[in-house]
Amino acid sequence: MTHIQIYDTTLRDGTQSEGFNLSAEDKVRVARKLDEFGVAYIEGGWPGSNPKDVEFFSRARDIAWKNAQIAAFGATCRVKGGPEDDANIRALLDSGAPVCTIFGKTWTLHVTDVLLTTLEDNLRIIEQSVAYLKAQGRRVMYDAEHFFDGYKADRAYSLETLQAAMRGGAEILVLCDTNGGLLPWEAESIVRDVRQTVKFPLGIHAHNDGESAVINSLVAVREGAVQVQGTINGVGERAGNANLCSIMPNLELKMGYTCLPQGNLAKLYELSHFVDEVANITPNDHLPYIGKSSFAHKGGVHVAATRRSSQSYQHIKPENVGNKMRVVVSDLSGRGNLLSKAEEYGLEMDTGDEVADVLSEIKTLEARGFSFEAAEASVALMLKRQEMYYQPPFEMIDFTVNVEHRAGRGIFAEATVKVRVPGSDEILHTAAEGNGPVNALDLALRKALPPRYPALDKFHLADYKVRVLDGNNGTSALTRVLIDTQNGTRRWTTVGASANIIEASWRALADAVEYGLTM
């Protein structure tokens, strides 16, 4: 079985993505995770460009890497001079990285209009830069920047640049679609021609400006490329790089190649979300393979089928990449959606009237503005309430909310709540002040219930989202409220909707407390 080298450039090309930033410490943490995952190469950065990358390579020298080789990235030497007195080349050597990846100009446009030199001088600096690094005991990989555009403009010269890198001693030639506009059939024919012409190990480095980076990478492998460069979650300059989180499972599960130590692909979901967490960005739930929604089923027909056979609407087993199947409840749901959700929460439900009643209620409420896709705790409660002996922990009798402005104090809110605890005729009547009406309601309810339910003291309102559903109606618009509540590492979401934002908030808030106390 052919093995494909995975060359990860999240720490270099990935950090060129807008909004994706890593400190030197972050880079070390991600690199350790990538090494544990089993990629072949980790490109740590460009040591000649900034102090942060210099610090990363300094720290990387003292780490015993298990699976990966650390690579430093840089350019060929300047035209006026040689590699022996070039600051960029010196920085690559000073990094201590065992692998040096340098890029050179392949496209005649870049040679004459950007580098402002002759075609012959460009060939010279490619060959000399590679040869010098090789003579200093480094493994050298050559990135042929803008290769595909260069090939289209002048095939003969683009191939000459590869020959220059080969003469210098590069161990692999990486064909780069730097502008990201390559189409799959172009990738197929060009990589095939290069492989047959130069007969040398090839790699592929694709950008995603035309939404073809993943397929171009896979096509290149089919045509003989032995290395794929890319990033975790596809982060990168402009529209991003080839997404390794799609490429690796496609290679291993569908194309018959290996690219990781055996069994490590099942850690892919964890790796993807770890990188997002370290970079402090919100994961894209809709990414293939590792998105939270990539194995989520919403339509009733889909769910009914997957309950009989998971293969019916899933192209792989989610567990193969560390993900899991989910069922989403909405007005598109059928009974199977609710039965699956009941099983998920360990609730005893039959296939008859109980499920039908909840399904009918959900469809009615969604028509009124509720949305249960993101509010699974509200769905679980609706199912829980169907159990024969279920008693809610409290019953809301009424509430009031006042918002006032007082001289010397400014705006503040006061709420009162009346609730009854089952099994008791006692009515708990409390009031609380807050910095807003929802905060005041939350505090008043917490003030009433803790004597009976001390666990409530550990709950806190983690997020509050409001969406106006029919903006054309102005201040009388229907409003949806989603509330996230947290207890330690446990977090749940509830929903309410009404033309009155306080009523919508109360429903979501009351559901949040009931769910936390009973589920």
Q: Which of 155-164, 220-229, 285-294 has the lowest mean pLDDT?
A: 285-294
My answer on whether 217 and 82 are in the same domain is yes
Sign (positive or negative) of CA dihedral 459, 463, 468, 469? negative
Q: In 10 A of CB 371, how many CB atoms?
A: 18
- Give the closest residue to 178 by CA, choosing from 213, 202, 152: 213
CA–CA dist 174, 129 (Å, integer) = 16
Residue with tokens 């009914």: 304
Least confident of 22-31, 61-70, 186-195, 344-353: 344-353
Q: According to the model, what pLDDT value does residue 297 have?
A: 67
* β-sheet bridge partners, residue 327: 297
Q: Is 415:440 a contact under the CB 8 Å cutoff? A: yes
Where does the pLDDT of residue 510 fall: very low under 50, low under 70, confident under 90, or very high at 90 and above? confident
* Long-range CB contacts (within 8 A, 24+) of 304-307: 304/334, 304/335, 304/336, 307/336, 307/339, 307/340
CB 329 within 8 A of CB 382: no
Amino acid of residue 328: V
Within this chain, do residues 207 and 70 fall inside the same structural domain, yes or no?
Answer: yes
Percent pLDDT > 70 in the chain is: 85
- Model confidence at 441, pLDDT cuts 50, 70, 90, reads confident
pLDDT higher at 485 or 125: 125
Distance between first and last Cα of the chain: 48
Tokens (6 digits) for 106? 């392949």
Same domain, 62 and 92: yes
Give the span between the Cα atoms of 405 and 262, in whole angstroms.
Answer: 66
Same domain for 184 and 226, yes or no, is yes
C-alpha dist (Å) from residue 374 to 152, 284, 314, 493? 48, 15, 21, 7
Q: Same domain for 409 and 367?
A: no
pLDDT score at 357:
66
Q: Is residue 417 part of a domain?
A: yes
Measured at the CA of 283, the angle between CA 334 and CA 178, to 5 degrees, comes to 120
Q: Is residue 289 part of a domain?
A: no
What backbone phi and psi angles, to 5 degrees, belong to 157?
-70, -40
pTM listed for this prediction: 0.76
Number of separate domains in the chain: 3
Give yes or no: residues 337 and 232 share one domain: no
Q: Tell me the per-residue pLDDT of 207-243, one tens digit each, with 9 for 90 and over.
A: 999 999 999 999 999 999 999 999 999 999 999 999 9
Are 210 and 75 in a shared domain?
A: yes
Instruction: Tell me how far CA of residue 509 lies from CA of 364, 436, 484, 512, in angstroms.
Output: 20, 14, 9, 5
What is the mean predicted confidence (pLDDT) over 335-360?
Answer: 61
Q: Is 11 left (phi over 0), alpha (psi -120 to 50) or beta?
A: alpha
Of residues 99, 104, 109, the one with CA closest to residue 77: 104
Whichever domain contains 124, its CATH number is 3.20.20.70
| Mean pLDDT value of segment 240-249 | 97
Beta carbons within 10 angstroms of residue 227's beta carbon: 22
pLDDT tens track for 351-394: 566 666 666 666 676 666 666 666 777 777 777 777 777 788 77
Q: What angle do CA 61, 65, 66 make, to 5 degrees?
A: 165
Q: Which of 150-154, 352-356, 512-516 has the lowest mean pLDDT?
A: 352-356
469-492 per-position pLDDT tens digit = 655 555 556 778 888 888 887 888
Residue 133 lies in a domain: yes
pLDDT for the residue numbered 97: 96
Q: Is the pLDDT of residue 335 over 60?
A: no
Looking at the predicted structure, is the pLDDT value of residue 332 above 60?
A: no
* Same domain, residue pair 80 and 218: yes
Mean pLDDT of 389-410: 79
Measured distance CA(15)–CA(44) in Å, rounded:
10
Comparing 308 with 402, the larger pLDDT belongs to: 402
384 domain-assigned: no
Q: Is residue 5 scored above 90 in pLDDT? A: yes
Among 171, 111, 124, residue whose Cα is nearest residue 143:
171
Among 156-170, 211-225, 293-307, the least confident range? 293-307
Do residue 400 and residue 508 come from a single domain? yes
Lowest mean pLDDT among 127-136, 246-255, 488-497: 488-497
220 and 334 in a single domain? The answer is: no
pLDDT score at 470: 59
Q: From CA 55, how far away is CA 103, in angstroms rounded?
A: 22
The predicted structure's pLDDT at residue 99: 97
Q: Which of 154-163, 307-316, 442-451: highest mean pLDDT?
A: 154-163
The mean pLDDT value of the chain amounts to: 86
Burial profile 399-422: b = 16 or more Cβ within 10 angstroms, e = fewer: bebeeeeeeeeeebbbbbbbbebe
In a domain, 491, yes or no: yes
More confident residue, 32 or 430: 32
The tokens describing 44, both together, are 């740590």
Strands (E), 357-478: 395-406, 410-420, 427-434, 460-468
- Check if the beta carbon of residue 13 is closer than 8 Å to that of residue 22: no
CA 202 to chain centroid, in Å, comes to: 29
Contact 104, 128 (CB under 8 A): no
Residues 202 and 320 in one domain: no
Which of the two residues, 403 and 387, has the higher pLDDT score? 403
75-89, 204-218, 392-406: which has the minimum mean pLDDT? 392-406
What pLDDT does 509 receive? Answer: 83
Higher pLDDT, 271 or 417: 271
Sorted by sequence, the CB contacts under 8 Å of residue 464 that are 6+ apart come out as: 438, 481, 482, 483, 484, 505
Query: Do the domain assignments include residue 385?
Result: no
Tell whether 382 is covered by a domain.
no
Q: pLDDT category, 463, cuts 50, 70, 90?
A: confident
**Spatial distance between the Cα atoms of 430 and 320, rounded to a whole number of angstroms:** 52
Residue 305 belongs to what domain range?
296-373
pLDDT at 387: 72
State the Cα–Cα distance between residues 361 and 365, nearest whole angstrom.
Answer: 6
Q: What is the pLDDT of residue 13?
A: 94
pLDDT at 500: 78
Residue linked to tokens 């010196």: 90
Question: Is there a contact between 347 and 380 (Cβ–Cβ < 8 Å)?
Answer: yes
Regarding whether 182 and 325 lie in a shared domain, the answer is: no
- CATH number for the domain spanning 503: value is 3.30.160.270
Helices (H), 401-449: 437-448
Q: Is the pLDDT of residue 408 over 80?
A: no
Tokens of 247: 């490429």
